[in-house]
Amino acid sequence: MKKGRVVRPVLQSELLRGNRLGDPSDRVTPVYLPPSYDESPNRRYPMILAIVGFTGTGRMLLNEDWFEPTLADRVDALIDSGEMNEAIVVMPDGATRYGGSQYMDSAATGPYGRYTAVEVIAWADREFRTIPRREARGVFGKSSGGYGSFRMAVDYPEVFSAFACHSGDSAFEYCYMPEFPKALRYLWHKNTTPKRFLDAYRSI
């Protein structure tokens, strides 16, 4: 089986520079290049954006595991079987010190929607031999990445022509907001505060 290769360049983000949380603006952004990429220097490829869930980064999609193939392994197998055409797969980092960004623009955390759909895409089109038009771009993710892929498709239809949302964590007002008072009560019973909790979380 012919295999693609993964490169791990650093994207230096202008949009994330100076964000309120002080999170880094330089982000390692793995990119999967398909098997024929090096031997066909004039060929261009569709691009797929793979975005991860809460507390994750693109690098986690390449973590070695005894029982599960990496994303690169899965893509290699799909291409080899003929179930998938060759494509460039970009794995951006949308993490924040709070765990994630939901791939949305936020005055509190930063412009992660524009970072993902505009800056990452422009960077990938510039650095790699993508087909630089919406008809050749898709986005997928699981959990917060699934929600993010849905948001990408809705908010940036001029950028993406396809999306896949796997177990997207949406409807936050129903599944998360009721938990905030419970969490505050728990912290109060433990004689601590949200600030102390967050400081401890960040130090891990």
Residues 73 and 146 in one domain: yes
Residues 147 and 161 in one domain: yes
| pLDDT greater than 80 at residue 175 | no
**pTM of this prediction?**
0.90
* pLDDT score at 113: 97
Residues 196 and 161 in one domain: no
4-18, 57-71, 106-120, 151-165: range with lowest mean pLDDT: 57-71
For the beta carbon of residue 108, count every other beta carbon within 10 angstroms.
10
Please name every residue paired with 111 in a beta bridge, in sequence order, or none if there are none: 105
Residues 186 and 119 in one domain: no
Residues 84 and 154 in one domain: yes
Average pLDDT of the segment spanning 115-133: 98
Average pLDDT of the segment spanning 48-63: 94
Residues 165 and 176 in one domain: no
Give residues with Cβ within 8 angstroms of 107, minimum separation 6: 20
**Whole domain around residue 184: which residue ranges?**
172-204
Residues 109 and 200 in one domain: no
* pLDDT score at 198: 81
Residues 107 and 177 in one domain: no
CATH number for the domain harbouring residue 9: 3.40.50.1820
The model's confidence at residue 99, banded by pLDDT at 50, 70 and 90, is confident
Give residues with Cβ within 8 angstroms of 203, minimum separation 6: none
* pLDDT score at 98: 85
Residues 146 and 185 in one domain: no
Segment 12-35, tens digit of pLDDT? 999 999 999 999 999 999 999 999
SS (H, E, C) the chain: CCCCEEECCEEECCCCCCCCCCCCCEEECCEEECCCCCCCCCCCECEEEEECCCCCCHHHHHCCCCCCCCHHHHHHHHHHHCCCCCCEEECCCCCCCCCCCCCCEECCCEEHHHHHHHHHHHHHHHHCCECCCHHHEEEEEECHHHHHHHHHHHHCCCCCCEEEEECCCCCHHHHCCCHHHHHHHHHHHCCCCHHHHHHHHHHC
The model's confidence at residue 131, banded by pLDDT at 50, 70 and 90, is very high
* pLDDT score at 9: 98
The model's confidence at residue 159, banded by pLDDT at 50, 70 and 90, is very high
Query: Whole-number mean pLDDT of the chain?
Result: 94
CA atoms within 13 A on the CB side of 49: 34
Residues 82 and 60 in one domain: yes
* pLDDT score at 39: 96
| pLDDT greater than 80 at residue 204 | no
